[in-house]
Amino acid sequence: MEKQAQIYKADQRGCSESEIFRRFCTFNFDDYRAISRHAFGALYAVNDETLAAGNKIVRHVEENFDIILLPLVGGIVYKDSLGNQDIVGTEEIRIFSAHKGMSYEITNSYEEELVNYIQIWLRPDKPFFTSQSNQQNFNLSERNILIPLFEGKISDSPVLKTNATADGFIGIFDGRKEGKYKLKNPHNGLFTFVINGAFEFENRLIESRDALSISGISEIAFEALSENAILLILEIPLKR
């Protein structure tokens, strides 16, 4: 596979905003359309969302997806039309199967504080789509390593599973610390999103809320360029 890479700068993301809600989307989503912002294989959406205090948003799903909620600032209340409900806080991740026709809502129950969270949408492997709604915590006190967040459903490890053969990791790094990621499947692609700070990937500078997709590699090295730099790494199947 020929090596290909694309950088998604934070200030070039699509933006949808109201008095109570703001969404920055890395890929084409809802009314945002750009030629260079198509989905990356099974990775359909990476949305950076902020919700004002005491408000909620409701979303109706038009096709099957696995949806991942990752709070960054504050906690959110998740509720869906199937009766699942829980509070998802920082250093917690929730994955749920959003079937076609289902709806869900996200609420900020704080009286004064904004909440900020990431939504990741994954297209499932065909033809099976298993219902799930699960939540798990992770510990960012472990530094300079990649911590597993989720993985494909074939594995028997205790990490949360997805209906796509995708893997997700998060890590917090000290300045000048180096890391490396080796793909489980060299036919997959790698997508990385910087939550905080700055990183360098093969001489590519990726700063806070920037992203990078790259294919045609078997592994990649990176270096944190700032203290407390936080990184998401997703291994994504490209062939649908």
- Domain of 45, CATH number, reads 2.60.120.10
Mean model confidence pLDDT for the chain:
95
Q: Give residue 15's domain range.
A: 4-236
pLDDT at 240: 59
The pair of structure tokens assigned to 34 is 């750009």
Rounded Cα distance between 26 and 44, Å, is: 10
Split into its structural domains, the chain has a count of 1
DSSP codes of every residue in 44-85: EEEEEEEE-TT-EEEEE-SS-EEEEEEEEES-EEEEETTS-E
The reported pTM is 0.95
For residue 19, the SS3 value is coil
pLDDT at 156: 73
Q: Does residue 23 carry a pLDDT above 80?
A: yes
| Structure confidence by residue, pLDDT tens digits, 110-134 | 999 999 999 999 999 987 788 889 9
For the chain, percent of residues with pLDDT exceeding 70: 98
